[in-house]
């Protein structure tokens, strides 16, 4: 474990506690990692602007793997992106509109775009999208699109995934990213694809990579990391493929494992 060069952690259900809060001890741990020459990335389905706000004191130092790997930023500069052609985004949006009870977010590099004014949906969106714009029709927006996120309060895996997988599973990445969230992205997009790009461009290896996750959108990232950790509170399928298990997010499991690393 002494040769680790890069650590990436998911946010919700992983680095953040059950109240979606960051443990204040993280900043001390980050300083110690940086002193050891180990880079740290927040790897999340959250929007880049949301991540920057969460880690404001470190915004010009950390790596941000945002929007489930479709956009990677460092020091305000784009290192990697994986966009969706507008015609493909349009097809996904039209299909999502047919799902009763679903609320969609069209995610662009500049902002997220929504059509709903449902109070429950707006409250949920605010957790993950700090730059979010209401429009009458998201298909009239001019931006570089990276993801279509679909929220369903009665369960994304049960009520959204079957339809979207049947329609787009052969041509796009369709992934359940939380109990009520599903994302549709470019077929080549994932946190794992972003990780492979960083390994190649920043010069660290699979064996020098550690990552933490709890849900199905973390699977590809864990596969690209020798030191792959599923949280104790993780989805059962994630636990099956991870090489190690970390204590739960309620126990600050990510920080516990990193503290052990630093102690060595």
Q: Give per-residue pLDDT as tens, 50-69.
A: 999 999 999 999 999 999 99
Q: Are 129 and 161 found together in one domain? A: yes
With respect to residue 106, please indicate whether it lies within any of the assigned structural domains.
yes
- Return phi, psi of residue 246, to 5°: -100, 155
pLDDT above 90 for 114? yes
Q: How many CB atoms lie within 10 A of CB 13?
A: 23
Residues 6+ apart with CB under 8 A from 2: 264
At 264 the pLDDT is 81
C-alpha 101/C-alpha 7 separation (Å) is 37
Can you say whether residue 80 is alpha, beta or left, with left for phi > 0 and alpha for psi between -120 and 50 degrees?
Answer: beta
CB 89 within 8 A of CB 124: no
Considering the chain, what percentage of its residues have pLDDT values greater than 70? 99
On whether residue 63 sits in a domain, the answer given is yes
Domains in the chain: how many in total? 2
Average pLDDT along the chain: 96
* CATH code for the domain in which residue 209 is found: 3.40.50.1000
Asked if residue 180 and residue 98 are part of one domain, the reply reads yes
Q: How far apart are the first and last CA of the chain?
A: 8
Does 18 share its domain with 72?
yes
Closest CA relative to residue 8, chosen from 74, 64, 89: 64
- Residues 196 and 136: their CA atoms lie apart, in Å, by 38
User: Sorting pLDDT into bands at 50, 70 and 90, what band is 1?
Assistant: low
Beta-sheet pairing, 132-134 with 112-114:
parallel
Domain annotation covers residue 31: yes
Do 181 and 97 reside in the same domain of the chain? yes
On the CB side of 90, CA atoms within 13 Å amount to 9
Residue 200 shares a structural domain with residue 122: no
Residue 93 pLDDT > 80: yes
Residue 1 lies in a domain: no
Question: Same structural domain for residues 96 and 157?
Answer: yes
pLDDT single digits (tens) 157-195: 999 999 999 999 999 999 999 999 999 999 999 999 999
Over 90: is that where the pLDDT of 112 sits?
yes
CB-count exposure of residue 118 (10 Å: 0-12, 13-18, 19+): middle
Distance CA 187, CA 172 (A): 4
The verdict on 153 and 171 lying in the same domain is: yes
Rounded to 10°, the helix 161-168/86-96 angle is 150
Q: Say whether pLDDT at 225 is over 70.
A: yes
C-alpha–C-alpha distance, residues 93 and 192, integer Å: 25
The reported pTM is: 0.93
- The half-sphere exposure of 5 on its side-chain side, counting CA atoms within 13 A, is 11
Q: Would you say 156 and 182 are in contact if contact means Cβ atoms under 8 Å apart?
A: yes
Asked if residue 166 is part of any domain, the answer here is: yes
- Ramachandran category for residue 220: left, alpha or beta (phi over 0 → left; psi -120 to 50 → alpha): alpha
Last residue of a domain, one of 140, 166, 186: 186
**For residue 247, is it within any domain?**
yes
The residue range of the domain holding 234 is 6-81+189-263
- Shared-domain flag, residues 108 and 196: no
Mean pLDDT of 38-61: 96
End position of a domain, from candidates 132, 154, 186: 186
**Average pLDDT over every residue of 193-216:** 97
Domain closes at, from 157, 186, 215: 186
CATH number for 150: 3.30.1240.10
Instruction: Please check whether residues 211 and 162 belong to one and the same domain.
Output: no
């Amino acid at each position: 474990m002494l040769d680790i060069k890069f650590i990436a952690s998911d946010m919700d259900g992983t680095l953040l506690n059950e109240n979606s809060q960051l443990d204040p001890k993280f900043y001390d741990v980050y300083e110690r990692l940086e002193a050891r020459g180990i880079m740290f990335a927040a790897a999340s389905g959250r929007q880049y602007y949301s991540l920057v706000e969460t880690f404001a004191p470190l915004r010009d130092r950390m790596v941000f793997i945002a929007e489930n790997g479709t956009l990677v930023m460092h020091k305000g500069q784009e290192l990697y992106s994986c966009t969706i052609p507008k015609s493909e985004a349009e097809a996904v949006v039209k299909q999502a509109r047919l799902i009763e009870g679903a609320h969609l977010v069209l995610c662009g590099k500049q902002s997220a775009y929504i059509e709903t004014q449902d109070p429950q949906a707006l409250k949920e969106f605010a957790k993950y999208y700090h730059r979010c714009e209401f429009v009458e029709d998201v298909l009239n927006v001019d931006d570089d699109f990276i993801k279509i996120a679909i929220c369903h309060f009665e369960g994304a895996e049960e009520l959204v995934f079957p339809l979207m997988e049947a329609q787009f599973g052969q041509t796009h990445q369709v992934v359940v990213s939380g109990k009520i969230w599903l994302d549709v992205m470019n077929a080549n997009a994932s946190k794992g694809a972003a990780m492979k790009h960083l390994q190649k461009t920043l010069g660290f290896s699979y064996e020098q990579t550690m990552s933490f996750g709890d849900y199905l959108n973390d699977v590809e990232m864990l596969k690209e990391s020798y030191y792959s950790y599923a949280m104790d509170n993780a989805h059962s399928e994630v636990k099956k493929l991870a090489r190690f298990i970390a204590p739960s997010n309620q126990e600050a499991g990510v920080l516990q494992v990193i503290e052990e690393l630093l102690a060595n």
